[in-house]
Amino acid sequence: MGGAETAGFSPALLPARLLKMLEKRPGTSRKAYFQATLVLAQKGRILGVRVGRVWGWITETEQGIVGFGYDAIFQPVGYKKTFGQLAERTKDRISHRAKAVKGIRRFLSSISSEIRMNDCI
pLDDT digits (tens, 9 = 90+) for 6-60: 555 556 667 888 899 898 887 778 999 999 999 999 889 999 999 999 999 999 9
Residue 8: partners with Cβ closer than 8 Å, 6 or more residues away: none
pLDDT at 13: 65
Which amino acid belongs to residue 105? R
**Residue 65 domain-assigned?**
yes
Question: How many domains, the chain?
Answer: 1
**Residue-number span of the structural domain to which 66 is assigned:** 32-120
| R_g over Cα of the chain | 18
Whole-prediction pTM: 0.76
The mean pLDDT of the chain is: 85
Q: What's the pLDDT score for residue 42?
A: 86
- If pLDDT is split at 50, 70 and 90, which confidence band does 121 have? very low
Alpha-carbon dihedral 86, 88, 93, 95, rounded to 10 degrees = 70
pLDDT for 3: 56
For residue 52, what is the domain's CATH number? 3.90.950.10
- Spatial strand order of the sheet with 45-58 comes to 31-42, 45-58, 74-76
- Which has the minimum average pLDDT: 6-10, 24-28, 99-103, 107-111? 6-10
User: Cα 61 to chain center, whole Å?
Assistant: 20
Distance CA(39)–CA(34), nearest Å, equals 17
Which of 4, 93, 104 has its CA nearest to residue 54?
93
